Structure 1
Amino acid sequence: MKHNMFCFQCEQTAGCTGCTGRAGVCGKQANTANLQDALTGALIALARTIQGKQTVSAKISKQIIDGLFTTVTNVNFNDVTIQQRIDAIHRELPAGTADYDMKKVWDAQEDIRSLKSLILFGIRGMAAYAYHAMILGYTDAQLDAFFVKALCAVGEDTWGMDELLPIVLEVGEKNLACMALLDKANTETYGIPEPTTVPLTVEKGPFIVVTGHDLYDLKCLLEQTKDKGVAVYTHGEMLPAHGYPELKKYPHLKGNFGTAWQNQQKEFDNIPAPILFTTNCLMPPRPSYADRVFTTEVVSYPEMVHIDEARDFTPVIEKALELGGYAEDQPFTGINGGHTVTTGFGHGAILRAADQIVDAVKSGAIRHFFLVGGCDGARPGRNYYTEFVKQTPPDTVVLTLACGKYRFNDLDLGTIGGLPRLMDVGQCNDAYGAIQVAVALAKAFDCGVNELPLSMVLSWYEQKAVCILLTLLYLGIQNIRLGPTLPAFLSPNVLQFLVEHYHIAPISTPEEDLKAILGE
């Protein structure tokens, strides 16, 4: 028997209100969505059993982080593996403990539902970052305890806005600490990113495409493909890997294939190579390449080969050798026709040039900074971000991050003050780095961040964008422009609160927004 679903956690949710039929816009079937709700209900029950304890065991913390990450959009479409996670949680619960019924959240008064959604979707995104740090051996007991606190808040049926709103902002606070932890994990493991030009040409011969976000999977694959005659190419949010010294030292990490996640069904069509999905951004594979899709970590799709925690990528390597790659070099381009892209402008690289940047601002060479980044997606209207960047004046700098940059990262905007006008800060979690840059500039000019000539024009799709937005609100960042649509889970009252206190605004047109920002 088929059941209906309810899900409105991503930007592309049906009708900008919610997916309520037998399948979601993302391709998730109703039974899978309902199992993800059941998994969340089990996590809330688990959190309640340990609420108030001073420490959370490593085993329980891992179950919570894994479980939350599993429910992020485009991560897991596999009912079997989701049920296995539910069963594992049930084994930790005292006999007779009932799972929390998520219908209580979805059927709640709209403002309560809205605030609980912000908390839940925020910690789902935060769990993705905690997961990547955990894989590298970096954990934080305070973050582990907060996951428990937040899950319990979602399950509090008597709480009102006064109790829930502080938890919403605490998600932002704790996500800032979580992104800092991941930044430390990545830089201490792989080095401080360096500005790097990345080719988009795929050389002839066997190759593997790695997509997602997890640098550890990439490192393991690079190590296992040494001297095998197999090249490795990044895709999507893996592009920033090229900037890390400990990853770029592998000569067979050749370049970048394709663009953002939502184009994969077209770009992977009949690709003569395997694709390894390390985290979210998996779309239902089409028959033309389904036999060469491999998943790892919490990512799972029915009938796709899954690489377990031992990370033995032999099946992926063998598939690459079997398919053979292209017979001749393939000179691909970005969306705007560029043959290369640049990355590696993390906060370490930018802050090394801080004096240069400050001098350029004081001299008038740099008038304004724009942070244009976030998630990409397929909904019409996202070409706004391409046009916005194209129309930024030549005396402005564009910082970008996450997969939204693929709309414009192959553009050549020239240089300013000896620096590129377009600088890729990194993955979505590297919003932490962008924040560090803003804080450093504010210190240099002896002003608040909101007084800087800096504007944030953000795109969102899934839950990691939610937790980053909450971090920016926690920091008191004002006048954020958000698009292409506002979240369906924001009730009118909650949205009005954000407008009144933080002056969040939806994007309009590039021309109107630039005029308003620059006061022209």
Structure 2
Amino acid sequence: MGEMFCFQCEQTAGCAGCTGHAGACGKEAETALLQDELTGTLIALAEMVQQKPSVRTEATDDLAMESLFATLTNVDFDDAEINRLTECVHAEKARMAGEAEIASIPDYSMLKLWDAQEDVRSLKSLILFGLRGMAAYAYHAAVLGQRDESVSAFIFEGLDAVANGKTQDELLPLVLKVGEVSFTCMEMLDRANTEAFGTPEPTEVTMKVEAGPFIVITGHDLHDLKLLLDQTQGTGVNVYTHGEMLPAHAYPEFKKYENLKGNFGTAWQNQRKEFDNLPAPILFTTNCLMPPASSYSDRVYTTGVVAYPEMTHIGADKDFSRLIEHARELGGFSEEHTFTGINGGSTLMTGFGHGTVLSVADTVVDAVKQGAISRFFLVGGCDGARPGRNYYTDFVQQAPDDSIILTLACGKYRFNDLDLGTIGGLPRIMDMGQCNDAYSAIRVAVALAEAFECGVNDLPLTLVLSWYEQKAVCILLTLLHLGIKDIYLGPTLPAFVSPGVLNVLVESFGIRPISTPEEDLAAILA
């Protein structure tokens, strides 16, 4: 077995890079190396697409999305599945070479990227990791029948740049173009979700689990949730969301299901504790899978891109009958259990997407003009296990009483069970949804800027973001593309951003590493 090198997530060893025989995420070196091989094969495919775009098909796009998604942190730990994808990419290269009468390009060696000049490596890593996040969003949208040619085409353009971009001046515009196309992709996913499931509405969600058999579903894929609910209706098996599935409760389509009961647990990094000896199976639909502990590994099911060795994988037929039967066998809790969030609250609010917030925009604008609301903070992003993330709880608790906290993604579990009261009938904490719903926050910010006839950077709005994986990179690049400045980012800065590139981001966009809640609030409110 060779040694790995990976620095794509926030928890990378020593804030520099995971090397040796395993990563901080639990991924073995062999798996990481196979993912590098898959990425290199995909980059070669992209080079061929750029030579002859006309031979690219919808199947080519789907393969690229799935392969990039599989290389995100905490998605695919199964060597056999990664090898299968690599073989599929090789087959697609062979097809294109035959049909287009072009030479098949050798696979790109990721060592060329890791050994490149520091700033070039940094910019190419931003492109690659941003593309991985974008591909995840595009994958979710495609499942619901939504595609965008500009998104599909740019995935190959960006991958080609990883191999062929040469200078910082060539690469920096492409980094921002990742953000531009990601915005289109997030808008497409928002449209896909609302057309399929309705416009989210404010909803209180219980953390109470009823007696009897149940299934916990985690990840992000709302289509998988609908299929599971359809198949569990009338079986006596209830369904509870976990992690980034919480916002599903706010969609009108899901409110129709009596067997969708509530939310179990908090964010992804707590699953080994929360799932310990759980008397129910767990379905993982997308990223955020941790290596399962032995106390519940026999209850883990995966589907879609997610895979783990020796775990039961439910294929494209989405037949959940085995999962449902397992829930019946385990039986669930013998009596009702009430769980709590990190701060002791037993209910959670969600459903404050752009459709809801913009419907009361006049109320919000009036509250600002009358002095009832002094400031908006968007505090959200990925949660994680590295010490220091209590910063986000402390920040929210110390924010002025006349401020509104907008939040999204699993970072909200640090504080979303707090009761911070209301302002003018509006709750001070508004959960806008999954990380997939970052588009909502952008829509709200743009609408407020239009209402106050100013730029977004002139609003009384501060973004305080936490990051862990590559979808957060995609979101950050989108915000930079839109010209949003003075973003506070933590708990640590990305290891793949070199000092030279960081200096560009600081000078151009005012990116700020978080310090302490007290110091940061003092600077923001000065």
TM-score range, shorter chain: over 0.9
SS at match of 1:20: strand
Instruction: Give the one of 286, 292, 300 matched to 1:293.
Output: 300
State the distance in 1 between where 2:456 and 2:178 align: 21
Match for residue 149 of structure 2?
A: 141
TM-aligned CA deviation for residue 249 of structure 1: 1.3
Match for residue 46 of structure 1?
A: 45
Alignment of 1:464-483 (within 5 A): 464-483=471-490
State the distance in 2 between where 1:100 and 1:29 align: 22
State the distance in 1 between where 2:281 and 2:411 align: 24
State the distance in 1 between where 2:465 and 2:510 align: 14
TM-aligned CA deviation for residue 441 of structure 1: 0.3
Does residue 4 of the first structure (1) align with residue 3 of the second (2)? yes
Alignment of 1:475-494 (within 5 A): 475-494=482-501
State the distance in 1 between where 2:341 and 2:58 align: 43
Match for residue 190 of structure 2?
A: 183
Amino acid at match of 2:471: K
Q: Say whether the 8 Å CA contact 2:219–2:243 is kept in structure 1.
A: yes
State the distance in 2 between where 1:368 and 1:459 align: 20
Q: Say whether the 8 Å CA contact 2:77–2:309 is kept in structure 1.
A: yes
List per-residue Cα deviations over 1:489-519 (Å, max 9, x = no partner): 0100000000000000000110111111111
Does residue 199 of the first structure (1) align with residue 206 of the second (2)? yes
Total equivalences in the alignment: 517
List per-residue Cα deviations over 1:418-465 (Å, max 9, x = no partner): 100000000002110000000000000000000000000000000000
State the distance in 1 between where 2:189 and 2:304 align: 17
State the distance in 2 between where 1:264 and 1:3 align: 30
Match for residue 14 of structure 2?
A: 15
Alignment of 1:51-62 (within 5 A): 51-54=50-53, 56-62=56-62
Match for residue 167 of structure 1?
A: 174
Match for residue 408 of structure 2?
A: 401
SS at match of 2:92: coil
Alignment of 1:177-256 (within 5 A): 177-256=184-263
Amino acid at match of 1:324: G
State the distance in 2 between where 1:279 and 1:437 align: 27
TM-aligned CA deviation for residue 182 of structure 1: 0.2
State the distance in 2 between where 1:316 and 1:482 align: 39
State the distance in 1 between where 2:409 and 2:373 align: 24
Match for residue 71 of structure 1?
A: 71
State the distance in 1 between where 2:174 and 2:7 align: 20
State the distance in 2 between where 1:163 and 1:291 align: 49
Q: TM-score, normalised by structure 1?
A: 0.99
TM-aligned CA deviation for residue 50 of structure 1: 1.3
Amino acid at match of 2:379: V
Match for residue 416 of structure 1?
A: 423
SS at match of 1:129: helix
TM-aligned CA deviation for residue 97 of structure 1: 3.5
State the distance in 2 between where 1:336 and 1:17 align: 32
Instruction: Give the one of 87, 100, 107 matched to 2:115.
Output: 107
TM-aligned CA deviation for residue 53 of structure 1: 4.2
CA-based RMSD: 0.8
Amino acid at match of 2:175: V
Alignment of 1:375-390 (within 5 A): 375-390=382-397
SS at match of 1:193: coil
List per-residue Cα deviations over 1:102-146 (Å, max 9, x = no partner): 100001011000000000000000000000000001011111110
Amino acid at match of 2:234: D
Q: Say whether the 8 Å CA contact 2:47–2:105 is kept in structure 1.
A: no
User: Unmatched 5+ residue regions in structure 1?
Assistant: none
TM-aligned CA deviation for residue 98 of structure 1: 1.4
State the distance in 2 between where 1:136 and 1:295 align: 19
Instruction: Give the one of 350, 363, 368 matched to 2:370.
Output: 363
Q: TM-score, normalised by structure 2?
A: 0.97
